Amino acid sequence: MSSSPTKESIIPKLAPPNSTPLHDPPSPRTHRALRRLQSAHTLGNSQPSLIQLQHRQHLQHNQTPVSTPHHSRGRSNSDASNMTPPPNLGAASRRPMPGRRPAAADALSLDRLIRDGPPDGDIITALESTRLKILDQGIKSDTDGMSSLRIYVWLILLDAPILETDSYLALIHRGASPAYSKIRNDTFRTLTTDPLYRRRVSEASLIRLLNAVAWKLHDAKEERAEELAKSDNKHTVNIQASPEVQSSTPTLKPRARALTLTTDGSDAGKSEPGTYVQGMNVLAAPFLYAARSEAEAFVAFYRFITNECPGYVRGAMDGVHKGLALVDKVLAIVDPKLSLYLMSKNMSAEVYAFPSVLTLCACTPPLPQVLRLWDFLFAYGAHLNILCIVAQLVFLRNSILSSPSPTKILRNFPTLQADTIKEVTLSLVKKIPDDVYAEIVSHAK
């Protein structure tokens, strides 16, 4: 969502299984830098690789790559480094055009592309090829949805920054955050019916991650408040020193000060996330399940909520409510009959879709299918979750229209079928007017 794609940039349909990889769908995620990540287990003694060269560059700039803590689940220490795309590339130039020539990255498997990096240093084309491979082939995983590659692909697609493990540990060692009691009230209820999640992720791990995120968000708010206070003091001094103010009526001073405070406060409210809102526990759960360490899950989750959907985690959850209104609007466009029927039953999206919007469908099992759906959303824009929810309503169309009480049907959505949802979602994109699609792209900001 941070790089607003155009409606035309979404691929019209999925390629059939085992078909020739597509070469012409555009990449809707612009301004993304493909980062190199490689496991310490695979670092060899051959000639310097691209990740080693990048590591040297980071050392020259006093930066340290990610190193994840050791855990009992066989996790590895990993390097994560940003690769900055060439300058002066506009959105149009980063979007593949129909009939583009096959790129060298297309011939590589997704695993090799992530491990070895973009051929010839062509970051933009390699990132485009990565998205196409996710769409056409998916990320290989076992029946439990586990993949050693997935978290690194997510970190790349989210353009997550480098994080020292010690920085995460420092947040943990600060103890309970101001939101700690709220966090403890939610964590024990997280995906309680999912045995895969419960077996792999402990409640203590989730508490630590959410508490660290709460501290990080708290610090960001404190820094913002200090900046606003300094700015306010500067404005006050300038106003008091102004000859025009000195010679004017006394009421002008407080009016000018009130205007400054109102403007600053409104800016802060629009741009800052909160520290914790109910539902963040479910939103964080897949990150912990997919990651090989808490530090990886932390940096990916924090990047996601602050860059992709800050409107979802502000106190008023304004982004979620905008998303719910868009579910109603999109359904009215793509299926007027179904929309009118639900409205006649007083069934707006606020009634049945709130958890699905807030958690990007993570509230609907099974978890392996959630991970596959998130692969698609992170590759082509998390805002497409709105269309994914509408796609699930389309699946249930006949059942809803034939039911005198659709509330019972929509109380719990049917199990996720990620590939089918993706296919229907991509078909819905073409039906959405440009102005509505623009709202979908920006609704979570």
Phi, psi of 270, rounded to the nearest 5 degrees: -80, -30
Mean pLDDT of the chain: 76
Helix runs in 242-335, H state only: 243-247, 252-271, 280-290, 294-303, 318-334
Q: What is the pLDDT confidence band of residue 236, given thresholds at 50, 70 and 90?
A: low
Q: Which residue has the higher pLDDT, 248 or 358?
A: 358
Nearest-angstrom CA–CA distance, 250 and 348 = 52
For residue 223, how many other CB atoms are within 10 A of its CB? 10
Structure tokens belonging to residue 182: 């709220």
Nearest-angstrom CA–CA distance, 207 and 223 = 24
pTM metric for this prediction: 0.73
CB 35 within 8 A of CB 159: yes
Nearest-angstrom CA–CA distance, 190 and 363 = 9
Pick the CATH number of 317-442 from 3.30.70.890, 3.40.50.300, 1.10.472.80, 1.10.1740.10: 1.10.472.80
Q: Is 435 exposed, middle or buried (0-12, 13-18, 19+ CB in 10 A)?
A: exposed
Nearest-angstrom CA–CA distance, 149 and 400 = 39
CA-nearest of 346, 363, 282, 354 to 325 is 354
Residue 247 has pLDDT above 60, yes or no: no
What does the buried/exposed string (b/e) look like for 6-36 if buried means 16 or more CB atoms within 10 Å of the residue's CB?
Answer: bbebbbeebbeeeeeebbebbbbbbebebbb
Nearest-angstrom CA–CA distance, 183 and 217 = 14
For the chain, domain boundaries: 148-307, 317-442
pLDDT value for 90: 33
Averaged pLDDT, 14-43: 37
Range with the poorest average pLDDT among 57-61, 343-347, 381-385, 418-422: 57-61
pLDDT value for 204: 97
